[in-house]
Amino acid sequence: MKHLKYMVIASFVMVGILTNSSCKKFYDINKDPDAITTGPIEQQLTSLTVNVGFFAGSDLNRYSSLIMQQYSGQSSGANNQTQDYEKYLIQGSDENNSWSTMYATILNDAENIITSASASGSPHYSGVAKILKAYAYQLSVDVWGDIPFSEAQKLTENTQPKYDSGTEIYTALIRLLDEGIAEVNATASNKSPGTNSTIYPGTFSTTKNNWIKFANTLKLRLFLHYSEADAGFAKAQIDQLVNAAVPFISSNADNFQMVFLDQAASQNPIDQFETARAGYLVANDRLVSIMNGKNDPRRPFYFTQYPAGSGLYRGSVGGAAPSQNYSKLHAYLRGYSGTRYTGDAPIRMLTYAEYNFIRAEAALRFGSPGSAQSFYTTGITASMTDAGVVAANISTYLATSGTLTGTPAQQLEQIITEKYVASYGVAVEPWTDWRRTGYPTINPPANAVVSFVPRSLYYPQSEIDLNPNAKQKTGLDVRIFWDKRP
Amino acid sequence: MKKLIQSLFILMLFVNFCIAQNRTITGTVISAEDNIPIPGATIKLKGAKGGTQTDAAGRFSITIPAGATSIEISSIGFITQSSAIGNSSVLNVVLKSDSRSLSEVIVTSFGIVRDKRTLGYSTTKIGAEQLTVSKATNVSNQLTGKIPGVRVSGSGGAFTGSGIIIRGLTTFTGSNQPLYVVDGVPIDNGGGGTPLQTGPSLSNRAIDLNPEDIENIVVLKDAASTSIYGSRGASGVILITTKKGKKNEKGTISYTTNYSIGRVNRLPEYQNAYAQGNNGLLTAANIGDATVAGSGVSTSWGPLIGGQEITNSFGEKENLQAYPDNVKDIFKQSYNLQNNISFTGGSDKSTFRLAYGNATETYVIDNNKLTRNNLTFTGNTDITDKLTIGASITYTNTSSRRTLQGNQLSNPLFRAYFTPRSYNLSGMPFEDVNGNQLWAGGEDNPYWSIKYNKYNDEVNRVLGNINASYKFTSWLNADLRVGTDFYNLKSKGFDEVGNRGGGFTGASSRLVGGLVDQANNVRNLSSYFTLNANKKFGDFNLTGTLGNEVNQNYVGNSSVTGYTLVVPHFDNMKNALTYNPAIGSSKTRLLGVFADAVLEYKTFLSVNVKARNDWSSTLSPANRSIFYPAAAASFILTEAFPALKDAKYVNLIKFRASIGEVGKGAPAYSTDTYYDTAGAGDGFGAIINFPYNGLAGFTLNDGAGNPDLTPEFTREISFGTELGFFKNRLTVDASYYKRNTRSVILSVPLSAASGITSVFKNAGKLSTKGFELMVAGTPVKAPGFSWDINANFTKYKSVVEQLAPGVANIFLGGFTTPNIRLVEGDEYGQIYGSAYQRNAEGQLLISPATGLPLPTADVVKIGNPNPDYTIGINNTITYKSLSFSFLIDIRKGGDQYSRNIADVQRNGVSIETAEFPRFEADGVTQTRPYIFQGVYASGANAGQPNTVYVRAQDYYGNSGKYVAAEGYIYDTSWFRLREAALNYRLPQGMVKKTPFSILELGVFGRNLYLKAKNYPHFDPEQNALGISNAQGLEFNSLPSTRTFGVNLKIVL
């Protein structure tokens, strides 16, 4: 009987304890011990800058570089996705990943840093986050057009944000950049980014100038995009900015780019893709032909030789029969030690070369300050230097191909074509230039699923499924607001 | 076994002792089958009330009136017998077992034992013999085809997970797997999922149970029966009772051994006429260079094979020939060896069983091997007349080696099935002297990958419980049980230096090598305490249980992934240059109290009401309490109106009905949102791991928590009948049920523009309607010969009634195309993928330029993986000492997307691709025998019938049939001889001359015959995702096997 008594008492005492609210501890175990509920801004900024750099070398880089025929999709037999993309079979579902990285990681990190840094008196952090946010939105608007902006990042408070027009977002981005510059410039900040920022790492008193230069140059890029939609506005804004003598990116050292590492799972995404998906991307005949035509000294850095050791470069044409007998992406994009790919090449997002080509175009078309020819020469030189071309070869090239000639339209074509070559590996911007100016001429591949070159991408399928405010586009010919070229 | 249950039954049953007159008879009741005493048998005067029961040793003593002439002896599971009383005061009775008995007792929960005929819900019990017919290593596999209402998937022996779905799907993204309970203690049956693109396929952890330790399995299906098991019983319960010693059993040593061999049961039929190549040609570029990955083509669209000289990928001259067995040779013969020894015995107070089991199983691919050792001890003893205590402990060590699986380049079967017909795969070297691969394909050479890309794991597991029961009075007892299930799983996946797929550790280890060390710790603690009463009031009998249950479940995972290995073949983390650790855990607690009362009136009416309240740690305090009731009733018409009962024709007509509800808490930690380690990645395998360059990164999780979560409820209404005819030689058991799940807890996908991509919510409704039927009969019964059939039929349909507002579908698994998703208003888990473009009339739209079909831009529904119905037919034929049993497994309907079939067609290796000669008489011009029936999509002749004939390569190739996933949806309907066994038990006369009491020999087989007329080349049971709610995809999966074996059983 004794045993039983203990059993019954023990059991009911247990029931009593567990149901008693005073002994909450039994149930109070539903906090994940392996995660934190608040994130420090320092580590969120690292997440943000790494993701921005990675993103610019990932899906959108492939889509835009394939559309612009800098890369070509290839295979050794079975059809690869890159071949589909090249023939413009880029479906909404292909973009789910980029969209969610953009909004739920990059813009979310930026927003959380802005909120938290503003609350804790760290304008240097919120300033950097605002500048990066502006870059991320610029990229997104140029790819998709109207997108959520004003109601985005409200977490569970608004799970179906409305779509804002690209025009409104662009206007807001200029404001955002101005705020960012002002905050980066603030004299006092509780915390400041340092080496935890993988873009412009270093002491903030030094690197803040990089951020300001980049922000101003990004404004130039944004204004230039108005060239066809509102040339007067573009000219006025560029002139005003240039005349205000604000600092711009002034050397390759100021390039807005992220340097990756020669280490597994830390290499740049272009290199990782080339390793993991060997043979999916090769050099495109369009780009290779332009460069072959001018004996471009950047080719040994841009491409592998085909046939190996021949000194020759051969690009593939979209829709060509499966083959690997082409030049592949090389050191400039992947990093190369002489024996193997290292993956530590930077992902370039806005370069000194591009700055010069922006100024060259503005000078040529709008009579903005400076000489088109001079910026043109500096742009080519900056690109070649960045690629590793020795000075003598740059001079040789400039001597034969470095002078703007012909009608303004021809000169523009030369500027944009050089910009196109220099922007090898820069996501989206060459496509934007083509959409604005039509240069260089791009013809849809023979197997293209539509008869025109896409003017924007479809909205991601996930967004169509989940946000009733999203209306799928009627086709890839739907244009961004600044795309008014006839 | 019967005796075991009887022993339990005795615990429950009060003894009606009725004393009248003047004569006492004593005796023993034994079983005819094995001469073992039968405890708990009822002895009574014919026609009288009351009586007595045998004690544990089968002894009885009864006082009878002087004039009585006979007594009736009955026991559950035996044929009731009358014995004439002579003048002797001693009467020994031998009872014959009644195989057709419906009056079986069943443990329904927490040690509650009930007579099956009074149950208001459906249960099915499978005994040891039926369970282990084909000696499968995994107990889950052994349930296939044996239980109405239950579907078992996965058949790759120990090398794939085996999933069980009972009466349809009950939830969306959570687990639909039943709860496994061993001797009253819930155990972990995790694992068994197969990642689509990384790693091996794994066993579900029921693999750690030794089927030879199992006495029987009871499957609880209705919510009214599972509700007492609380939230984890929502998808059904598999109650496993292990073997125990028997009281007064003399010490017995039992030894069983079995050995079987297996071979792949179905391989593609290949063409052997055309060589590797493309467009009818085999160029040097097509052949490639064995030292350069991806330099050659994988397709066999080359020239007619005719001994022409080529230079192969090794630079050697070779005469072109076909290698018909180049794929078949990859597969080896597998074996399965099991040895079991047990010692059992019992005194009149105690019983024990000590057993050791060893199983070794290999698979048809080298480097796949599983070894399991089980050591188990069970003991029970009556401390006093009232107190019985017992303990059981099982230690299991399971280790395995496996090769890669899934849609990735290191899976040895990823492209092996379409090895070019003219490539001498087994004859050519796959590595050079330094271990570097020699293979012109872009993927790993199958032999190289099997040899070097390795996986191993080891589980150490302890399953134990202690229990005590106390009998207060004849009608009241208490039962306490405390149990634990804990195990540690260590695994290592190794991507060899030079690998091309990064099979275990992802793209970052491609070429440079990588490895992943993982450790999982699972600790489950549970206890229950019940008070059970059983009392008769006149014509009423009341049985009641009050109880509580406490569970704590802990899972801890830690893994380290290392990349860039320095020393080839050295699979140690020390050998890696960079590391990425991951740590995670979850702990949940649950307390439940429950009550269960059964009121029986006479022998024909029984009403059962239950209720349970849980408090779950995974919900906010305000929502923590989960209450759910259940009720069940049964009515035996033939007992209520005995006139209906005709001993010859009608024996039993019973109706039953039940309604029950089961509530469920949320997954751990879903009420909050967390920041966690950052990372970057894209859909193609490129990733950035943190710490990055010495920097930590944290980011807000994309999945948000929700403090307002409330419990999820599943309610089921079920009606059934049990019928017995012709002296119970024909019995029918049928159920119809309707099950509704509401407030489903799921991770609802959100527009990423909100900053998060999902949030936990109570959203959605799911309903299942089903019908199940079991018909059992004995068509032939003659002295020395009998034939028993037991056929079961399962049909159910689960429909997604509602998803979360604004959510059109939920992705369960797969790729952009094809994938498996839940779509509101449609059946559960449909196959979506790209389809062929069609016009309004449904005709294919054809490209006028090529004559080939066009894919849709978006994914649409292309198949339904749910079968219409499944049937299992068990047959047992006994002739004297021989018994032959076989199980037929029939599945009707259910679609599957087969990437394997797609691959053997688009690469031109399967026989149908050479159905027509590919060349004209000149041997050069390619024939155009195919046409896609359809109309032109565009151009001048838009809408006109297509008249463009195309080549075999166009038809089957990447631009033809393969453009849309729709082309590879196949109906999996099958007819299968799932199991067969022939056993011979040495007759008693012969055994007596040996030192043994039983000597049994047998042969058995599994998956012996398969007919799947709509599914070519492969076994339709192969499946990509293992245990998963997403079914209907097959991507380069492991093959199925056919096995044959022999077994021996000796009892000393």
CB-based burial label for A27 (10 Å; 0-12, 13-18, 19+)? buried
Which residues make Cβ contacts (< 8 Å) with residue A283, sequence separation at least 6? A70, A71, A72, A302, A303, A313, A314, A315, A316, A326, A327, A328, A329
**Inter-chain residue contact A50 with B692, CB threshold 8 Å:** yes
Q: What would the two tokens of residue B219 be?
A: 């499957």
DSSP characters over A158-191? -SSPPEE-HHHHHHHHHHHHHHHHHHHT-S--SS
Which chain B residue lies closest to A269 (C-alpha atoms)?
Answer: B686
**Inter-chain residue contact A105 with B702, CB threshold 8 Å:** yes
Residues of A in contact with B750 (CB under 8 A): 159, 466
Which chain A residue lies closest to B694 (C-alpha atoms)?
Answer: A196
Q: Report how far residue B829's alpha carbon sits from residue B1031's, in angstroms, rounded to the nearest whole number.
A: 7
**Inter-chain residue contact B278 with A322, CB threshold 8 Å:** yes
Q: Which of B372, B423, B374 is nearest to B400 (CA)?
A: B372
Q: What would the two tokens of residue B835 be?
A: 């389809």
Coil, strand or helix at A437: helix
Q: Report how far residue B239's alpha carbon sits from residue B759's, in angstroms, rounded to the nearest whole number.
A: 35
What pLDDT shows up at residue A62?
Answer: 97
Instruction: Please answer whether residues B130 and B146 qualify as being in contact, where contact means their C-beta atoms are separated by less than 8 angstroms.
Output: yes
DSSP characters over B30-71? EETTT--B-TT-EEEETT-S--EE--TTSEEEEEE-TT--EE
Kindly tell me the number of DSSP H helices and DSSP E strands found in chain B: 9, 56
Instruction: Please answer whether residues B287 and B440 qualify as being in contact, where contact means their C-beta atoms are separated by less than 8 angstroms.
Output: yes
CB-based burial label for A232 (10 Å; 0-12, 13-18, 19+)? exposed
| Mean predicted confidence (pLDDT) in B1041-1052 | 93
Hunting for tokens 């001993």 — which residue is that? B647
- Quick: pLDDT tens for B757-800: 999 999 889 999 999 999 999 999 888 899 999 999 999 999 99
Q: Report how far residue A364's alpha carbon sits from residue A413's, in angstroms, rounded to the nearest whole number.
A: 11
Hunting for tokens 């149990």 — which residue is that? B483
Residues of A in contact with B626 (CB under 8 A): none
Residue A381 to chain B, least CA–CA distance (Å): 31
The one-letter amino acid code at A313 reads Y
* DSSP conformation class of B667: P
Q: What would the two tokens of residue B583 be?
A: 């740590």
* pLDDT beyond 60 at A4: no
DSSP characters over A80-124? -HHHHHHTT---GGGGHHHHHIIIIIIHHHHHHHHHHHHHTT-HH
**Inter-chain residue contact A154 with B755, CB threshold 8 Å:** yes
Going by pLDDT thresholds of 50, 70 and 90, the confidence category of residue B20 is: very low
Q: Name the pTM for this structure.
A: 0.88
Instruction: Please answer whether residues B908 and B953 qualify as being in contact, where contact means their C-beta atoms are separated by less than 8 angstroms.
Output: yes
Gyration radius of chain B over CA positions: 32
HSE-up of residue B249 (Cα within 13 Å, Cβ side): 24
> Burial letters for B916-942: b for 16+ Cβ neighbours within 10 Å, e otherwise?
eebbeeeeeebbbebebebbbbeeeee
Mutate to test the interface with A, among B381, B410, B497, B688 (most CBs of A within 10 A): B688
Helix ranges (DSSP H) in B714-771: none
Among B564, B682, B809, the residue with its CB nearest the CB of A465 is B809
* pLDDT beyond 70 at B637: yes
What pLDDT shows up at residue A263?
Answer: 93
Instruction: Please answer whether residues B243 and B214 qualify as being in contact, where contact means their C-beta atoms are separated by less than 8 angstroms.
Output: yes
Residues of B in contact with A279 (CB under 8 A): 294, 442
Question: A245-259, B339-353, B396-410, B1017-1031 — which is least confidently predicted?
Answer: B1017-1031
**Inter-chain residue contact A14 with B293, CB threshold 8 Å:** no
What pLDDT shows up at residue B973?
Answer: 96
Q: Which of B76, B66, B14, B15 is nearest to B45 (CA)?
A: B66
* Cis preceding-peptide flag for A444 (omega within 30 of 0): no
Instruction: Please answer whether residues B406 and B413 qualify as being in contact, where contact means their C-beta atoms are separated by less than 8 angstroms.
Output: no
Q: Report how far residue B1044's alpha carbon sits from residue B334's, in angstroms, rounded to the nearest whole number.
A: 10
Which residues make Cβ contacts (< 8 Å) with residue B618, sequence separation at least 6? A30, B588, B665, B666, B667, B668, B669, B670, B671
Q: What angle do CA B416, B421, B426 make, to 5 degrees?
A: 60
Q: Report how far residue B755's alpha carbon sits from residue A108's, in angstroms, rounded to the nearest whole number.
A: 5
Which chain B residue lies closest to A92 (C-alpha atoms)?
Answer: B858
Residue A223 to chain B, least CA–CA distance (Å): 26
Helix ranges (DSSP H) in B324-394: none
* pLDDT beyond 90 at B742: yes
> If you count residue pairs, one on A and one on B, with CB atoms under 8 Å apart, how many are there?
303
Which chain A residue lies closest to B815 (C-alpha atoms)?
Answer: A93
CB atoms within 10 A of CB B259: 16
Q: Report how far residue A425's alpha carbon sits from residue A257's, in angstroms, rounded to the nearest whole number.
A: 11
Q: What would the two tokens of residue A391 be?
A: 């000075």
- Quick: pLDDT tens for B52-91: 777 766 778 887 777 777 788 877 667 777 777 777 777 7
CB-based burial label for B307 (10 Å; 0-12, 13-18, 19+)? exposed
- Quick: pLDDT tens for A33-80: 999 999 999 999 999 999 999 999 999 999 999 999 999 999 877 778
Coil, strand or helix at A9: helix
| Mean predicted confidence (pLDDT) in B1007-1012 | 94
CB-based burial label for A214 (10 Å; 0-12, 13-18, 19+)? buried
Q: What would the two tokens of residue A143 be?
A: 């790819």
Coil, strand or helix at A59: helix
HEC profile for B498-554? Answer: CCCCCCCCCHHHCCCCEEEEEEEEEEEEEEEEEEEEEEEECCEEEEEEEEEEEEEEE
Coil, strand or helix at A452: coil
Q: Report how far residue B904's alpha carbon sits from residue B908's, in angstroms, rounded to the nearest whole number.
A: 6
Calculate the alpha carbon distances from B220 to A427, B514, B659, B742 in Å: 59, 45, 14, 21
**Inter-chain residue contact A93 with B674, CB threshold 8 Å:** no
Q: Report how far residue A435's alpha carbon sits from residue A448's, in angstroms, rounded to the nearest whole number.
A: 18
- Quick: pLDDT tens for B864-913: 999 999 999 999 999 988 999 999 999 999 999 999 999 999 999 999 99
Residue A26 to chain B, least CA–CA distance (Å): 8
> Burial letters for B156-186: b for 16+ Cβ neighbours within 10 Å, e otherwise?
bbbbbbbbbbbbbbbbbbbbbbbbbbbbbbb
Which residues make Cβ contacts (< 8 Å) with residue A245, sequence separation at least 6? none
**Inter-chain residue contact A78 with B906, CB threshold 8 Å:** yes
The one-letter amino acid code at A241 reads L
Q: What would the two tokens of residue A181 be?
A: 């510059």
Question: Could you give phi then psi for residue A437, rounded to 5 degrees?
Answer: -110, -20
Which chain A residue lies closest to B293 (C-alpha atoms)?
Answer: A278
The answer to ipTM > 0.90 is yes
- Taking the CA atoms of residue A62, residue A63, residue A64 and residue A70 in that order, the dihedral angle to the nearest 10 degrees is 50
**Inter-chain residue contact B688 with A54, CB threshold 8 Å:** yes
Q: Which of B47, B49, B27, B46 is nearest to B95 (CA)?
A: B27
What is chain B's mean pLDDT, rounded?
89
Q: What would the two tokens of residue B860 be?
A: 């649409």
Among A32, A54, A275, the residue with its CB nearest the CB of B674 is A32
pLDDT, greater one: B994 or B211: B211
Q: What would the two tokens of residue B249 be?
A: 């059993």
* DSSP conformation class of B890: E
**Inter-chain residue contact B480 with A98, CB threshold 8 Å:** no
Which chain A residue lies closest to B441 (C-alpha atoms)?
Answer: A76
- Percent of chain B whose predicted confidence (pLDDT) is above 70: 95
Which residues make Cβ contacts (< 8 Å) with residue B790, sequence separation at least 6? B774, B775, B776, B777, B873, B874, B875
- Quick: pLDDT tens for B653-700: 999 999 999 988 899 999 999 999 999 998 788 999 999 999 999 999
CB-based burial label for B653 (10 Å; 0-12, 13-18, 19+)? buried
Q: Which of B627, B705, B695 is nearest to B669 (CA)?
A: B705
Among B688, B759, B809, the residue with its CB nearest the CB of A265 is B688
* Cis preceding-peptide flag for B818 (omega within 30 of 0): yes
- Quick: pLDDT tens for B558-617: 999 999 999 999 999 999 999 999 999 999 999 999 999 999 998 899 999 999 999 999
pLDDT, greater one: B159 or A456: A456
